[in-house]
Structure 1
Amino acid sequence: MSALLEVSGVSVSFDGFRAINNLSFNIGAAELRAVIGPNGAGKTTFMDIVTGKTRPDEGDVRWGEYSRSLLKMNEAQIARAGIGRKFQRPTVFEDQSVADNMTMALRANRNPFSVLGWRPSPSSDQRVAELAAEVGLAGQVNRKAGELSHGQKQWLEIGMLLAQEPRLLLVDEPAAGMTLAEREQTTTLLRRLAETRAVVVVEHDMDFVRRLNCKVTVLHQGSVLAEGSLDHVTRNPQVIEVYLGR
């Protein structure tokens, strides 16, 4: 089966520092993948490249069945192609309700005239209800986003990304700041989402990664150091030396 995302020989330097060094790996169409590694390993830069925020000096990033190059697309085009990114800190409209946040995120025609004339409809309301249920916020749709717990805000942002119908979700440290119960619910959510789309989770928390029970890619100095199950990579002497043995 062909990969949904194929990173091939990508390198990028900032002021002489090589943040990504000949990085190559693939993500399948319905796959949950954890990306781990020490600070400065290139995890954030990898996500920046995939989403069009950073242009590599060499290499390519191919996307979808037709293997289109993401490097020929801008950030908005990449988002419309089906790549969604969730940053570590939730970015939601705190003064708006959960339902309003999700409604604003729904995939729709974004030209100025369409936006000015747009009104919620029974179908959009139904979609928002489905999204809220999917991320565990069915009982919170009328609450202001600012009143939610940290974990609930993370779920709301995931719901807002899902409103765009992405085929790949890039999720940055979702477990940070969550209660144990929220972490367990987040694990369940991410595993379920990966049944129908690709989900890449960048995470430092090894307990959370173990709960995800998925393939793990270890980055070090901008390259793949090891890949496989968590048990496999954590037995790797190089991984122990550069990451786990700190």
Structure 2
Amino acid sequence: MSALLEVSGVSKSFDGFKAIDNLSFAIGEPELRAVIGPNGAGKTTFMDLVTGKTRPDSGTIRWGELSRDLTRLSESRIAREGIGRKFQKPTVFEDQTVWENLRLALKGTRGPLTVLTYRRDRAERIAALAEEVGLSDHLARRAGELSHGQKQWLEIGMLLAAEPRLLLVDEPAAGMTSAERERTTAMLVEAAKTRAVVVVEHDMEFVARLNCRVTVLHEGRVLAEGSLAHVTADAQVIDVYLGRG
């Protein structure tokens, strides 16, 4: 498995507070990775740095076969490079239908010579995406009518429509029913078969369902890494995050 994203010696401070402190780790392709840690561990700042929302004070973030340094690229360019991010609160066009939301998110050319083929391919792609995220029966519904969990799935579908190589997902299980959480687990596991998927999550039961490599952040650094069983048995992880007893 080759490294798709390589974070090397990255640090970031805000008004004297070091949110990220000489952080280094790598994500492969394909791979499913969970990132956990206490509040203030640097999880959100890590995603901000990768997507270009925030610039590091030092270090590099290398991307892809050409090892491009993402710290030199704009947010829009990073998105075009194939990095998608899902925030904790779903962001969809609530007045538009599920179909329209997915159509707006699709990646593809729209030149006049390809419009007929594009329309046919587009319809097939939208149907496939809806099936992938469990919304085939809701294509004609306004997004605002969906449940919280269904809106989360729609946003994941919209991100997948852009065909990212790396998908960053922030607390996808929050506010979901048990059945929705099971479907979300299967969705992320399936997505990670063909791309890198990084899931930031506090819910340890949900992380266990993902059955993937786990990175524990603390004070902006990697505290432990490995299987969930390995990191949850680590004394330092117990002290700073899981607690004793």
TM-score range, shorter chain: over 0.9
Counterpart of 1:102?
102
The structure 1 segments of at least 4 consecutive aligned residues displaced by more than 2 Å after TM superposition are: none
Please give the alpha-carbon distance, in whole angstroms, between the structure 1 residues aligned to 2:214 and 2:125.
33
How does the TM-score come out when normalised to structure 1? 0.95
Please give the alpha-carbon distance, in whole angstroms, between the structure 2 residues aligned to 1:17 and 1:44.
15
Please give the alpha-carbon distance, in whole angstroms, between the structure 2 residues aligned to 1:243 and 1:69.
32
Q: Are 2:171 and 1:164 aligned?
A: no
Counterpart of 2:29?
29
Q: How does 1:199-210 map to 2 (within 5 A)?
A: 199-210=197-208
The count of residues paired between Structure 1 and Structure 2 equals 242
Q: Percent identity?
A: 72
Please give the alpha-carbon distance, in whole angstroms, between the structure 2 residues aligned to 1:221 and 1:155.
31
Alpha-carbon displacement from aligned partner over 1:67-112 (angstroms, at most 9, x marks no partner): 11111110000000000000000000111100000101111469xx
Please give the alpha-carbon distance, in whole angstroms, between the structure 1 residues aligned to 2:191 and 2:2.
20
Alpha-carbon displacement from aligned partner over 1:197-225 (angstroms, at most 9, x marks no partner): 00000000000000000000000000000
Please give the alpha-carbon distance, in whole angstroms, between the structure 1 residues aligned to 2:53 and 2:33.
21
Q: Are 2:77 and 1:80 aligned?
A: no
Equivalent residue letter for 1:82: G
RMSD: 1.8
Deviation at 1:184, TM superposition (A): 0.4
1:191 paired residue among 189, 192, 216? 189
Counterpart of 1:48?
48
Please give the alpha-carbon distance, in whole angstroms, between the structure 2 residues aligned to 1:12 and 1:99.
40
Equivalent residue letter for 2:175: G
Counterpart of 1:212?
210
Please give the alpha-carbon distance, in whole angstroms, between the structure 1 residues aligned to 2:14 and 2:34.
25
Q: Which runs of 5+ in 2 are unaligned?
A: none
Alpha-carbon displacement from aligned partner over 1:147-199 (angstroms, at most 9, x marks no partner): 11111100000000011100000000000000000000000110011010000
Please give the alpha-carbon distance, in whole angstroms, between the structure 1 residues aligned to 2:109 and 2:185.
33
Counterpart of 2:180?
182
Q: Partner of 1:4: helix, strand, or coil?
A: strand
Counterpart of 2:171?
173
Q: Partner of 1:227: helix, strand, or coil?
A: strand
How does the TM-score come out when normalised to structure 2? 0.95
